């Protein structure tokens, strides 16, 4: 039986770990949250999904070494801010020579690296061909209940990409291969910023037309930065770009959308994060994206306004005025 070492048991991590275990893989999942580990050991239920019983093939640990021991594949679902520290700890524990699959979405602050590149830097460039990812329109609350969706599986190496698609594929979770791993990663990371903007717009009751405009121009920003970062533009039109953008920008199931909505209601960014109670990846990534856009000389007005609202105290209403009063140029796609 193939053993999978799973890192991270938030809502998305547990959803995928349990899905893999339900396929018959022996999954040892690591979490830094003792209450989550205790709940799963004692009741076989995750606190976020009390009505879903964990597969018999899922084992939970708070020891990273235990999750890594004997693993044929490692799957990552930690926060984007925590990736470097987790893999630095992993490197200190043992040599890794198995595929590592990313399910988190983000760009590291300061370095501007996608998460896969962060780990290649930590473990060594020779490990790059072991790295892969999945990304696309997928809410944990829907996937764990078997509602159908399609996502993208990608990797630097074609054989790892095939492995990604094979182990995650289920009758209701369809995986399309895409070799542009950077484009897949950029799409999954950047759409969270636009989701915050759309949440703000919805909270201000700006209407469906403004939501459509934000998503369209947001996708344009995403494409510009991705292409400047060496990605294929068409990747952003697929499941990991437009697909993920559509679902994240239109539902309160998205924590990034809810975060923007709460800010529009008058909460500070810190109070909004506390209300959600989970990591808001878009708040982290908008810093990274703005840093990278300045480095690559790419204009990203929506991202800049989201940053100013979250970190500089700009009012949501003033952000709308700033975007609507920009000089008009011919539309380029």
Judged by phi (left if over 0) then psi (alpha if -120 to 50, else beta), residue 297 lies in left
Candidates 166, 325, 330, 191; CA nearest to 256 is 191
Supply 24's token pair: 């018959």
CA distance 260 to 207: 15
Which is the catalytic residue, given 3, 23, 91, 191? Answer: 191
Supply 256's token pair: 């990034």
What is the three-class DSSP state of 204? coil
Establish whether 105 is a catalytic residue. no
What's the chain's Rg over C-alpha atoms? 19
Q: In residues, how long is the chain? A: 333
Chain centre distance of CA 79: 8
Q: List 299's β-bridge partners, or say none.
A: none
Burial class (CB in 10 A: 0-12, 13-18, 19+), 325: exposed
What is the three-class DSSP state of 103? coil
**What does each C-alpha distance from 14 to 17, 37, 44, 158, 263 come to in angstroms?**
5, 11, 12, 27, 28
CA distance 191 to 260: 13
Q: Which helix (H) or strand (E) holds 26?
A: strand 26-30
Catalytic residue positions, numbered = 191
């Amino acid at each position: 039986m193939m053993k999978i070492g799973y890192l991270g048991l938030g809502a998305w991590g547990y959803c995928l770990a349990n899905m893999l275990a339900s396929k018959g893989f022996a999954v040892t999942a690591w979490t830094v949250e003792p209450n989550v580990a205790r709940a799963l050991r004692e009741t076989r239920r995750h606190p976020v999904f009390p009505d879903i019983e964990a597969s018999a093939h899922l084992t939970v640990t708070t020891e990273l070494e235990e999750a890594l021991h004997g693993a044929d594949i490692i799957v990552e679902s930690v926060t984007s801010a925590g990736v470097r520290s987790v893999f630095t700890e992993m490197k200190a524990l043992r040599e890794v020579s198995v595929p590592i699959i990313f399910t988190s979405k983000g760009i590291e602050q300061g370095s501007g690296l996608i998460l896969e590149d962060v780990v290649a830097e930590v473990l060594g460039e020779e490990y790059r061909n072991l790295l892969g990812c999945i990304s696309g329109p997928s809410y944990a609350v829907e996937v764990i209940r078997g509602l159908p969706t399609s996502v993208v599986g990608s990797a630097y190496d074609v054989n790892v990409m095939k492995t990604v698609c094979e182990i995650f594929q289920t009758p209701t979770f369809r995986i399309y291969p895409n070799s542009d791993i950077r484009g897949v990663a950029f799409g999954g990371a950047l759409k969270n910023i636009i989701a915050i903007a759309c949440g703000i717009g919805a909270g201000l009751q700006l209407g469906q037309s403004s939501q459509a405009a934000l998503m369209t121009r947001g996708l344009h920003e995403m494409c510009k930065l991705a292409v400047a970062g060496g990605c294929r533009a068409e990747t952003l039109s697929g499941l990991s770009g437009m697909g993920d953008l559509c679902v994240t920008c239109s539902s309160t199931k998205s924590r990034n959308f809810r975060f923007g909505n709460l800010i529009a209601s008058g909460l500070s960014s810190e109070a909004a994060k506390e209300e959600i109670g989970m990591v808001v990846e878009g708040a982290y990534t908008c810093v990274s994206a703005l840093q990278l856009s300045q480095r690559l000389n790419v204009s990203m007005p929506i991202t800049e306004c989201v940053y100013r609202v979250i970190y500089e105290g700009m009012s949501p209403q003033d952000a709308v005025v700033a975007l609507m009063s920009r000089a008009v140029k011919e539309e380029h796609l």
